[in-house]
Structure 1
Amino acid sequence: MKDSIQNILMIRRGAIGDIIFTLPAFYMLKANFPNSKISFLVKDNYAEVLKGFPGLDQVLIIKKRDLASKRISQLWKMSSDLYRTVQQNHYQLAIDFVGHGEHAFFLWLSGIPHRWGSIKTPKPLRQWFYTNYFIRELEDTHLIDQHLMLLEKGGLTRFPVKNQYVIPQENMNKATRLFQQWGLSVQKPTLFIQPFTGNGVAGKIWPLECYEALADYWNERGMQIIFGGGPAEREKLSNVAGRYPVAAGEADFVTSVGLASLASVVVGGDTGLMHAALAAGKRTVMLVGPTNYKRIGPYQHPEWAVRPQSGNLIQDIRVEQVLEATNIAFNDLGI
């Protein structure tokens, strides 16, 4: 099969963390098919994340606005345009990392000979449309490893796992300039705080005042502090901005990962930037509430997760726990 594969399509429309979780699978595909072209299908509002996938040949965009449309004509045009693009690219292998029914049918209809799907729960009809599938029911196995199991089941060799998010030099330059504008030094220990999750899921966001207490504690001990966040979160951090540098509204996602990479330790909840920072080689402290830290927590480092000592919401995590975890992280780095 390997000799016949020249064009590969990966599918994960979003969100940021879920896209980052496909990174080791991307490297595994490149190792097994070194001469093949790899494309990635993603929603337009998440396409920027793929800048950290080195050697990705093409990004196919689905507009979020079109997906949300209730107009049959608009949905039909989107589907028709995508169908033509897939046909023109002559993919021999497609890997669907979410396993939606419409994806399975679309890939079958497109005539791609090898169609692999990662399915959340058993779906007999959906499974029929894939030529290879893996059901993600292993509760204590990280999603990254379950994606790799799908590729292994398809006959690919599982080389040593590579989970490396590569920040383009342009974004690193922007991050360095922001450091300078804020009067920070890359030579001094820095704590990067990511206080919000991208989708604002209840029970996953630690109270902002707790993050502020964490920042104040380490600032008093000589650490530089940066608060991250998306453009929409700038207003929420208006009070913080009076005391600490705030990247929200000043740095795009990839540049924010660059800022995190210039920091010593990155702390935050279960959100995309945290997973990207870890893949960029940073020591993270991840606060995990209602979700399974073994399944979605810090990859290959479950000990870096901070969980409630009682209850299962992130709000149940005490400030003292995070202070201890960040102290361990700094000590690990010899700071």
Structure 2
Amino acid sequence: MHDQIESILMIRRGAIGDIIFTLPAYYLLRANFPNSKISFLVKENYAQVLKGFPGLDEVWVTQNKSENVLKLWKAGNDILDKVKNSKFQLAIDFSGNSGNAVLLWLSGIKHRWGSIKSSNTLRERLYTNTAVRLSSLASSVSDLPDLHRIDQNLLLLKKGGLTCFPVKNEYIIPPENQEKANTLFSNWGLSLQKPVVFIQPFTGDGIAGKAWPLERYAILAEYWRTQGLQVIFGGGPEDREKLNAVAEQFPVAAGQTDFVTTVGLTTLSSIVIGGDTGLMHAALAAGKRTVMLVGPTDHRRIGPYRHLEWAIRPQQGKFVADISIEQVISATKTALDEVSIR
């Protein structure tokens, strides 16, 4: 099979964390097919995340969600035509939704691999190789192994017959983005000679109960400032207004920079604190010590990869809001001690 694969298509349209979770699978594909062209299909607003996938040959973008049915239909047909004309020999769909399954089946690609939610479905028959994807919720599919989502993606490739190599999970920040991060860091008057705590205060809206209240992050930031530490707040452009009050006291990246540059800011920090969200997973892949607040999702499936001890879970209840400030302060102290030991 290896000699027949000259062009590969990876599909994970979003969101940020799910795209980051395909990074080790990308490296495994590179190791198995070093001379093949690899393309990645992603939603337009997440395309920049792929700048941290070194050597990726091509990024294809699809439109973000739209209420215009005709516009979406045309976009779908355009993608189908493009996939057909590109003559891929292997396509891997890491989301396994119906639209992607039909797209790949209609395209005529010989090897179609998909991550699916359950077996014995029509969707399963549209792929030539499948692996069941476990939900991120702790209570679901409890009879299956508690594999991290990254390992679930790798399992799909292994079931396809690829040679296993040591797992590589390295998010590489392009020099131009790191330079932007360095400039922001300097303009804020921060010093690399003192510990820096980076706080990512918001998570995605897909699952209720994942967010820790902003006012608690503000209390946490003030506590560490009184201990002589520097603090940076992250966030996306849409979060800037919510952080206006925080910005009066601390540097805030939200609204001032892009995702990849924000990851660059985390590399200048001692530790990174936040919930289960894309930036946290990217920071870990960039080599940073994280403190991740996890709930009600299963930390074994979506927590800090290969560092489940870095996850903070509620002692009482199941939502992130059930985590106390004292828990986070204690976990942060542990993280800072570990960083200083290095």
Structure 2 CA distance, aligned partners of 1:287 and 1:231?
22
Q: TM-score w.r.t. structure 1 length? A: 0.97
* Structure 2 residue corresponding to 1:98, chosen from 70, 92, 95: 95
CA distance in 2, matches of 1:202, 1:133: 29
Q: Which runs of 4+ in 1 moved over 6 A?
A: none
RMSD over aligned CA atoms reads 1.1
Match of 1:121 in 2: 118
Question: Alignment partner for residue 313 of structure 1, among 319, 327, 332?
Answer: 319
Tell whether the 8 Å contact from 1:179 to 1:186 is kept in structure 2 after alignment: no
Q: Deviations over 1:97-126 (max 9, x none)?
A: 010112111101101000000001224211
> Aligned pair count?
332
Q: How does 1:71-86 map to 2 (within 5 A)?
A: 71=69, 73-86=70-83
Indicate the larger mover: 138-147 or 35-44: 138-147
Aligned to 1:140: 146
Percentage of matched positions with identical amino acids: 64
1:1-335 maps to which residues of 2 (within 5 A)? Answer: 1-64=1-64, 67-71=65-69, 73-137=70-134, 138=144, 140-199=146-205, 201-334=207-340
Q: CA offsets per residue over residues 20-56 of structure 1, 9 Å max, x none? A: 0000000000000000010000000100100000000
Question: Where does the alignment leave 5 or more consecutive residues of structure 2 unmatched?
Answer: 135-143
Tell me, yes or no, if the aligned pair for 1:284 and 1:304 is still in contact at 8 Å: yes
List alignment gaps of at least 5 residues for structure 1.
Answer: none
Task: Give the Cα separation in 2 of the matches to 1:139 and 1:226.
Answer: 37
Letter of the 2:189 counterpart: G
Q: Judging changes above 3 Å, is the alpha-carbon distance between structure 1 residues 91 and 200 closer, same or farther for their aligned structure 2 residues?
A: closer
Provide, for residues 251-304 of structure 1, a one-character-per-residue CA deviation record: whole Å limited to 9, x for no partner: 110111000111000000000000000000000000001000000000000000
Whether the 8 Å contact between 1:139 and 1:295 is mirrored in structure 2 is no
Structure 2 CA distance, aligned partners of 1:17 and 1:99? Answer: 16
- Give the conservation status (yes or no) of the 8 Å contact 1:310–1:316: yes
The residue type paired with residue 104 of structure 2 is L
1:81, CA displacement in angstroms? Answer: 1.2
SS at match of 1:104: helix
1:283 and 1:328 map into 2 onto residues whose CA distance is 11
Cα offset for 1:213?
A: 1.3
Distance in 1 (alpha carbons) for counterparts of 2:316 and 2:145: 21
Q: Report the more deviating stretch, 102-111 or 16-25.
A: 102-111
- Measure, in 1, the Cα distance between the counterparts of 2:22 and 2:258: 21
Task: Give the conservation status (yes or no) of the 8 Å contact 1:120–1:136.
Answer: yes
**Further displaced range: 280-289 or 197-206:** 197-206
TM-score of the superposition, structure 2-length normalised?
Answer: 0.95
User: How far 1:168 sits from its partner (Å)?
Assistant: 0.6
